[in-house]
């Protein structure tokens, strides 16, 4: 949502496809900011990048939940085993 507001402030037209959800549009805008070649790569590459982004985002949300419950010190002492358990 924040990215959509920024795009409106910049005066850029947001190209939302019919029946595209807002979260999908936000992901597309985020990935376009991260990858400068977003408009030129193929659909298969875009799909792989979106899938990787969603996977990393899901993992980040889990870590945020853990740190909210235990404190951010858990990030310093955690191991690969704890990451696999999540």
Residue pLDDT, tens place only, 49-72: 999 999 999 988 988 888 888 887
Query: What pLDDT is attached to residue 70?
Result: 84
Q: Residues 75, 63: contact at Cβ < 8 Å?
A: yes
**Average pLDDT over all residues of the chain:** 78
Q: Which residue has the higher pLDDT, 60 or 74?
A: 60
Residue 62: count of CB within 10 angstroms of its CB: 12
- Where are the chain's structural domains? 2-85
Residue 82 has pLDDT above 80, yes or no: no
For the beta carbon of residue 29, count every other beta carbon within 10 angstroms: 20
The rounded distance, in Å, linking the Cα atoms of 57 and 31 is: 12
pTM above 0.85, yes or no: no
Contact status, residue 29 vs residue 7, Cβ threshold 8 Å = yes
Average pLDDT over residues 35-44: 90
């Amino acid at each position: 949502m924040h990215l959509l507001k920024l795009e409106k402030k910049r005066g850029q037209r947001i190209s939302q496809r019919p029946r595209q959800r807002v979260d999908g549009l936000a992901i597309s805008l985020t990935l376009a900011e991260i990858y400068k070649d977003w408009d030129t790569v193929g659909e298969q590459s875009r799909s792989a990048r979106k899938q990787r982004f969603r996977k990393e985002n899901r993992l980040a949300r889990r870590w945020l939940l853990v740190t909210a419950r235990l404190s951010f010190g858990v990030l310093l002492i955690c191991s690969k085993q704890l990451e696999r358990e999540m």
